Amino acid sequence: MLEEGVNSMFWKEDVDEFLAWVQLERGLSLHTVESYENDLVQFGRFLEESSVSHWDEVDEAATGKFLQKLTEENFETTTLARKLSALRGFSRFRERERGARSLTEIVRGPRAGRKVPTSLTIEETLRLLEAPSTATPHGLRDRAILELLYGSGLRVSELTGLLLQSVDLDNRFVRVFGKGSKERMVPVGGGALKAFRDYLNAGRPSLVKPKTGSEVFLSQRGSPISRKTVWHLVKSHGERAGITKPVKPHLLRHSFATHLLEGGADLRTIQEMLGHADIATTQIYTRVEGERLLDEHSRFHPRNRDEF
């Protein structure tokens, strides 16, 4: 939670929700989330010192002075890039969730290179998918969630917002609404299809309560499952599967894309299934595949062996 007195007019209402979103949906580490909070508090204090009391008063001059102040404090380029990334991300979040004015065009500065996403191996993925017990309604639900996150590459928000009327298992696809409320059709693979049907037939009916709506995935109370619950169940099943790397929902989305690319899928097809507006966002997975190929080459090509 932000401390009292920091830009109470527009700061405190949205920052906590933004921080929860970047941790639970984007899968950022707790350390990064805490850094983002400090960065936003720092910007809030700067605005107060500049007598700016409302988001609409933030202009290019204000952000330019903030960037100059950061530069004068001799922050490393990566730290400076992270601070501006926090501000850009918060601006985009408020624009999407609140219809607020965007600052992304006037907040300019160095950008850190995009980090190559981590993914599970296929063996790790299979262990994770088999971790939930299918003997209980919750286990059936969790198995279906894991299968769909990996088998269709859904974002957490897309999964938690999935409605029964958006599911067409006969034709093996689901209709989801991604960023910017853009609709797309996503195929459902064989493993996810079976887990999905098992959950709908034998799991979900046990979770339904009198006021339950048409959301597919339900909590114990019969309400739509939350992003936080999905984050925790993915983490706990990862631990149960004996996976040592941090297992988060977005890791399954990364694994979905990486394994498709390794299998020979076209990059444009992966872009469409992930719902990326820009092919450049999808191209990060080619770096993952490139690193894998380099590793395989160094391990197995005879000219790379010490004994050659």
- Both 16 and 155 in one domain: the answer is no
Domain membership of residue 252 (yes or no) is: yes
- Both 157 and 263 in one domain: the answer is yes
- Both 220 and 159 in one domain: the answer is yes
CATH number at residue 32: 1.10.150.130
CATH number at residue 236: 1.10.443.10
- Both 200 and 275 in one domain: the answer is yes
Residues 267, 271, 273, 277: what is their CA dihedral angle, to the nearest 10 degrees?
A: -170
Domain membership of residue 6 (yes or no) is: no
Domain membership of residue 307 (yes or no) is: no
Residue 263: both structure tokens together: 């299998």
The number of residues in the chain equals 308
User: Would you name the residues annotated as active-site residues?
Assistant: 155, 179, 250, 253, 276, 285
- Both 84 and 139 in one domain: the answer is no
Number of domains in the chain: 2
Domain membership of residue 112 (yes or no) is: no
Domain extent at residue 219: 122-294
Domain membership of residue 16 (yes or no) is: yes
- Both 59 and 168 in one domain: the answer is no
- Both 151 and 91 in one domain: the answer is no
- Both 19 and 75 in one domain: the answer is yes
pTM: 0.61
- Both 134 and 168 in one domain: the answer is yes
DSSP string for residues in 117-170: PP---HHHHHHHHT-S-TTSHHHHHHHHHHHHHHHH---HHHHHT-BGGGEETT
Domain membership of residue 109 (yes or no) is: no
Domain membership of residue 117 (yes or no) is: no
Which of 31, 63, 98 finishes a domain? Answer: 98
Half-sphere exposure of 59 (CA within 13 A, CB side): 4
- Both 259 and 212 in one domain: the answer is yes
- Both 66 and 195 in one domain: the answer is no
Domain membership of residue 111 (yes or no) is: no
pLDDT by residue for the chain (308 residues), tens only, comes to 444 444 444 566 678 888 888 888 777 778 888 888 888 888 888 888 888 777 667 777 777 778 777 777 767 667 777 888 888 888 888 777 766 666 655 555 545 455 556 889 999 999 999 999 999 999 999 999 999 999 988 988 899 999 999 999 899 999 888 766 678 888 888 889 999 999 999 999 999 999 999 999 999 999 999 988 999 999 999 999 999 988 989 889 889 888 888 888 877 888 888 887 666 667 666 655 445 444 544 554 454 544 43
- Both 141 and 262 in one domain: the answer is yes
